[in-house]
């Protein structure tokens, strides 16, 4: 969206006081995120009553009608599926001559050579709908830490898990063209970005909407790109994990042996009700296979507790699974009952307090497992990417291959004169909770 607006002639600022228009990107996935999105947008409008506040993102996609009706103070809503088309909304909310120092809004100019855009545009012309679903503009400003970028390779999801609102919001799976993804990856590497986080709702499904899994082909294409970089694969549905990835990762150390596999549960009854095809046994076998083929592998997962019908026995099955799996990282969420999902009408509601207790119990268990798993890195040398310095101290927050941005622990590096976005070889000296501590290695 930033790139689209810049393409339309606007200038991005991180400082709200400087802005004429404040864009709030919302989430509509679960109840907590919906509340936070609304509260944040209203708080911003209250703080900056004279600025135009635009609400965009998934919450608007899901509840546009209600939001327009109820949030009269908000200046505009963007519900389009295509974030790259957001600049189309501006003439509706602004007399663009009022934008100080800005010329009249001109039509956004796409990057040259965008066959994807042309294809999508041609199709949409026939349907009379908005055009391309994917970024068409140069992403000059990234919201990630220096040296790191996200590249989204598909939108939507066709897995249709019974509890999940994402297919309702984002629609069914639509994969980008491989050449477009590779072009974006190359562009970031050319700009000196070291870590490319390849994301989608389910990477394993990439290409399936065109007929077959293409993640392996994409990684081969990326592997042919010269240079130093990390490719981090975020979110692979464990039910169709392509084991062909093992050999690609073994052959190219730039593709990190880091796997985020959202197992969600382990009880057969709950997995079935969730619409997931795996089992405790198949998941443990997958974990074992990953560790056998890639001994340095780091595995993260997420779990959902308090799903309708989850009884004590189901929960204990999940606890047993987590003890057996010995994952490196895990996040736990409580079930959020989302309208229009299949699970909305399921019986066997679990009390909120029970769900929260179960979440805490797993978090405590996982904390001790994570602490133990981290010990294997003590004494090892690792390359880390510096995120930022700690003010007033000779300490830097960084991440190694085992730590994905924002969700995992960090590596705290003792040193001086390091820069955000810089890669450094460090020696891990100790664990501290979920973080590692390191000193700069002398080589
Ligand atoms: S795979 Fe993930 S995004 Fe897709 S429906 Fe299931 S939970 Fe939702």
C-alpha 337 – ligand 1 centre gap (Å): 15
C-alpha 159 – ligand 1 centre gap (Å): 6
Among 320, 324, 263, smallest CA distance to 291 is for: 324
**Does ligand 1 lie within 6 Å of residue 201's CB atom?**
yes
Among 170, 176, 5, smallest CA distance to 86 is for: 5
Q: How do 423-432 and 435-440 pair as beta strands?
A: antiparallel
Per-residue pLDDT of the chain (443 residues; tens, 9 = 90+): 898 888 888 899 989 999 999 999 999 999 999 999 999 999 999 999 999 999 999 999 999 999 999 999 999 999 877 777 888 888 777 765 555 554 444 444 444 444 454 444 434 333 334 444 444 678 888 999 999 999 999 999 999 999 999 999 999 999 999 999 999 999 999 999 999 999 999 999 999 999 999 999 999 999 999 999 999 999 999 999 999 999 999 999 999 999 999 999 999 999 999 999 999 999 999 999 999 999 999 999 999 999 999 999 999 999 999 999 999 999 999 999 999 999 999 999 999 999 999 999 999 999 999 999 999 999 999 999 999 999 999 999 999 999 999 999 999 999 999 999 999 999 999 999 999 999 999 75
**Does ligand 1 lie within 6 Å of residue 204's CB atom?**
no
Question: Measured between alpha carbons, how far is 419 from 388 in angstroms, rounded to an integer?
Answer: 7
> Residues with Cβ < 8 Å from 13, sequence gap 6 or more?
19
C-alpha 299 – ligand 1 centre gap (Å): 19
> Residues with Cβ < 8 Å from 67, sequence gap 6 or more?
38, 55, 59, 60, 74, 77
Read out DSSP for 357-419?
A: HHHHHHHHHHHHHHHHHHGGGTT-EEEEEEEEEPTTSSEEEEE-TT--TTTS--EEEE-SS--
Atom of ligand 1 lying closest to residue 264 CA: 7
Whether 99 and 106 have beta carbons less than 8 Å apart is answered as no
Task: Please give the C-alpha separations between residue 195 and each of 374, 419, 434, in angstroms, as whole numbers.
Answer: 21, 15, 21
C-alpha 76 – ligand 1 centre gap (Å): 29
CATH architecture of 378-440: Beta Barrel (2.40)
Question: Measured between alpha carbons, how far is 200 from 233 in angstroms, rounded to an integer?
Answer: 9
Reported residue count of the chain is 443
Asked if the 2-98 domain carries CATH number 3.40.50.12160, the reply is yes
Pocket test for ligand 1, best of 165, 167, 236, 260 (most atoms within 8 A of CB): 167
Asked if the 116-376 domain carries CATH number 3.10.20.30, the reply is no
Element spanning 332, H or E: strand 329-334
Q: What is the pLDDT of residues 177-221, one digit of tens each?
A: 999 999 999 999 999 999 999 999 999 999 999 999 999 999 999
Whether 411 and 437 have beta carbons less than 8 Å apart is answered as yes
Residue spans per domain, the chain: 2-98, 116-376, 378-440
Question: Measured between alpha carbons, how far is 408 from 380 in angstroms, rounded to an integer?
Answer: 19
């Amino acid at each position: 969206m930033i790139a689209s607006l810049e393409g339309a002639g606007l200038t991005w600022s991180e400082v709200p006081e400087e802005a004429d228009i404040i864009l709030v990107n919302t989430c509509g996935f679960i109840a907590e995120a919906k509340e936070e999105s609304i509260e944040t947008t209203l708080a911003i409008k209250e703080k900056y009553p004279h600025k135009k506040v635009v609400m965009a993102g998934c919450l608007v996609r899901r509840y546009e009608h209600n939001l327009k009706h109820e949030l009269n103070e908000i200046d505009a809503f963007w519900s389009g599926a295509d974030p790259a088309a957001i600049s189309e909304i501006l003439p509706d909310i602004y007399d663009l001559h009022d934008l100080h120092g800005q010329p009249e809004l001109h039509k956004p100019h796409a990057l040259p050579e965008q066959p994807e855009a042309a294809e999508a545009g041609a199709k949409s012309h026939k349907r009379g709908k908005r055009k391309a679903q994917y970024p068409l503009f140069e992403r000059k400003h990234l919201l990630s830490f220096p040296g790191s970028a996200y590249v989204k390779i598909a939108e939507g999801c066709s897995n249709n898990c019974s509890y999940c609102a994402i297919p309702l919001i984002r629609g069914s799976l639509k994969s980008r063209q491989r050449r477009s993804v590779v072009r974006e990856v190359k562009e970031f590497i050319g700009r000196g970005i070291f870590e490319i986080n390849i994301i989608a709702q389910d990477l394993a499904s990439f290409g399936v909407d065109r007929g077959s899994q293409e993640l392996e082909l994409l990684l081969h294409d990326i592997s042919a790109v010269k240079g130093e970089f990390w490719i981090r694969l975020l979110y692979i549905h464990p039910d169709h994990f392509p084991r062909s990835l093992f050999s690609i990762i073994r052959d190219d150390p730039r593709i990190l042996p880091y796997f985020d596999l959202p197992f969600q549960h382990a009880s057969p009854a709950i997995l079935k009700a969730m619409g997931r095809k795996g089992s405790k046994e198949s998941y443990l076998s997958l974990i074992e296979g990953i560790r056998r083929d890639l001994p340095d592998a780091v595995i993260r997962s997420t779990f959902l507790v308090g799903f309708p019908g989850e009884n004590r026995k189901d929960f204990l099955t999940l606890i047993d699974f987590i003890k057996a799996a010995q994952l490196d990282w895990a996040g736990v969420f409580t079930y959020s009952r989302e309208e229009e999902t299949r699970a909305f009408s399921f019986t066997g509601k679990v009390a909120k307090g029970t769900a929260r207790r179960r979440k805490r119990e797993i978090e405590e268990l996982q904390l001790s497992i994570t602490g133990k798993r981290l010990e294997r890195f003590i004494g090892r040398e690792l390359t880390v990417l510096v995120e930022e310095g700690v003010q007033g101290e000779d300490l830097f927050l960084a991440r190694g291959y085992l730590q994905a941005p924002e969700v995992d622990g960090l590596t705290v590096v003792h040193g001086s004169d390091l820069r955000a976005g810089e890669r450094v070889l460090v020696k891990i000296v100790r664990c501290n909770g979920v973080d590692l501590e390191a000193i700069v290695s002398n080589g």
